[in-house]
Amino acid sequence: MDTYNPLYALFIFFGFSTLAYLLFRPRIGWFWVIKNNLKLNEKIVIEDILKQLYHSENSEKKISANGLPKTLTFNDHTIINVIEKMTINDLIEFNGDILKLTNSGRDYALRIVRVHRLWEKYLAEKTGFDKVEWHGRAEEMEHKLNHEETNLLATQLGNPKYDPHGDPIPTNLGKIADINGKFLSSLAVNSVGKIIHIEDEPDVIYKQILAENIHIGSQIRMVENNKERVVFYAEGEEFKLAPIVAANITVAILKKDEVIEENIVRLSSLKENETAHILGISKESRGDSRRRLLDLGFVKGTEISIDLISPLRNPTAYLVKGTSIALRKDQASKILIKKDDEHGE
């Protein structure tokens, strides 16, 4: 007959104690990690729904409870449960089958929009991330910053009014500026204006705009606008867009008493044996990249010419203040010049 061994009981006790410690250890135990992740996931769903409704209402579009799941990546069951909680918490309300933000819901949505746009501004000004990454990274960070961290970020950035796409950034009191302009697709032929906003959604259209190398802040002149295409000139180059793409670009029409910048072209258009004078750096160049160009001597009034062209014509070396500086075509396109034969020299 087997005799009782107290060591077995001791091993079992330590086994259960270890398991309980791993499960319920304060803050980092498996139980708390799973519980906090569930709360975080629910918070993300709530905030994504609020932001979706905010943008839809601003665009005068209506979203039903059935239509909402189609615009988000969460499963229907999760969205339905979250909508019920949001209704109870007075964040949203129903008008028939249409979802609407309450005042509290709109205030909450503005806080999320504020974080998102501030973070995009930070990525544009303080990091080397490509612009195609700004939106996705901001989508993640908008759920992580609290109110105090958001205000600190705004202060570090100088409390900017607009994000790098030209979208107004809500203040900490929820006030938001208007975008006073017209869609590029609606401009009449011969209209002159300045690009003040480029919509970064939907992603497929935004990438088309980026591929065309269209810059915010550029002055444009409309030359053709019909159902098939929109054609305009900006900074010495011709651009052709489908109307659906042009509708994602907003232009402020220049008034009669405003200075119309003529003969401004991009440095990337400069040819061998041509000389020019620098007029400035496009707003498209930001943060460290902009400061680096200024430090290298790309300042207003400086004479510039081509020193050497690589076999593949990219990069090109430019002669600036006696120094040869190589720039990629993308970099050169953000430096604005006036060629000397148009400069009166």
Which of 70, 101, 132 is the C-terminal boundary of a domain? 101
Q: Is residue 140 part of a domain?
A: no
Report percent pLDDT > 90 for the chain. Answer: 60
Question: Residue 314's Cα: distance from chain center in Å?
Answer: 27
Q: Are residues 241 and 272 in the same domain?
A: no
Please, are residues 162 and 169 in contact by the beta-carbon 8 Å criterion? yes
Please, are residues 296 and 325 in contact by the beta-carbon 8 Å criterion? yes
End-to-end CA, the chain: 112
Q: Is residue 161 part of a domain?
A: no
pLDDT digits (tens, 9 = 90+) for 240-291: 999 999 999 999 998 776 666 778 999 999 999 999 999 999 988 988 889 9
Q: Are residues 270 and 244 in the same domain?
A: no
Question: Residue 275's Cα: distance from chain center in Å?
Answer: 36
Q: Residue 7 above 90 pLDDT? A: no
Q: Are residues 249 and 274 in the same domain?
A: no
pLDDT digits (tens, 9 = 90+) for 155-207: 999 999 999 999 999 999 989 988 889 999 999 999 999 999 999 988 899 99
> What CATH number is attached to the domain comprising 269?
2.30.30.90
Average pLDDT over residues 44-62: 89
Q: Is residue 108 part of a domain?
A: no
Confidence at residue 81, expressed as pLDDT on a 0 to 100 scale: 87
The dihedral region occupied by 50, where left means phi > 0, alpha psi between -120 and 50, and beta the remainder, is: alpha
Q: Are residues 269 and 246 in the same domain?
A: no
pTM over 0.85: no
Which of 67, 101, 135 is the C-terminal boundary of a domain? 101
Please, are residues 199 and 206 in contact by the beta-carbon 8 Å criterion? yes
Token output for 291: 């400061």
H helix and E strand count, the chain: 11, 14
Confidence of residue 13 (pLDDT cuts 50, 70, 90): low
Domain limits at 224?
A: 182-253
Q: Are residues 232 and 280 in the same domain?
A: no
Q: Is residue 117 part of a domain?
A: no
Please, are residues 91 and 102 in contact by the beta-carbon 8 Å criterion? yes
Residue that is written with structure tokens 């591929």 in the block: 211
Q: For 171, what's the count of Cα atoms within 13 Å in the CB-facing half-sphere?
A: 5
Q: Are residues 269 and 249 in the same domain?
A: no
Q: Is residue 49 part of a domain?
A: yes
Q: Is residue 271 part of a domain?
A: yes
Distance (Å, whole) CA 3 – CA 12: 17
Q: Are residues 285 and 325 in the same domain?
A: yes
* CB atoms closer than 10 angstroms to residue 175: 9
Question: Residue 283's Cα: distance from chain center in Å?
Answer: 14
Please, are residues 129 and 213 in contact by the beta-carbon 8 Å criterion? no
Token output for 264: 């401004």
> What CATH number is attached to the domain comprising 90?
1.10.10
Distance (Å, whole) CA 269 – CA 226: 28
From residue 302, how far is each of 36, 275, 321 by CA, in Å? 58, 11, 7
Confidence at residue 214, expressed as pLDDT on a 0 to 100 scale: 95
Which of 48, 71, 101 is the C-terminal boundary of a domain? 101
pLDDT digits (tens, 9 = 90+) for 24-48: 565 555 544 444 444 447 888 899 9
Q: Are residues 337 and 274 in the same domain?
A: yes
Query: Domains in the chain: how many in total?
Result: 3
* CA neighbor of 275 nearest in space, from 325, 341, 335: 341
Q: Which residues are paired to 90 by β-bridges?
A: none
Q: Are residues 272 and 236 in the same domain?
A: no
Q: Are residues 244 and 283 in the same domain?
A: no
Establish whether the linkage from the previous residue to 202 is cis, with ω within 30° of 0. yes
Residue 278 main-chain phi, psi, to 5 deg: -75, 130
Q: Are residues 69 and 34 in the same domain?
A: yes
Q: Is residue 240 part of a domain?
A: yes
Distance (Å, whole) CA 23 – CA 21: 5
Q: Are residues 269 and 247 in the same domain?
A: no
Residue that is written with structure tokens 């400035």 in the block: 280
Residue that is written with structure tokens 């999320």 in the block: 112
Mean pLDDT estimate for the chain? 86
Q: Is residue 137 part of a domain?
A: no
Token output for 100: 């609407």
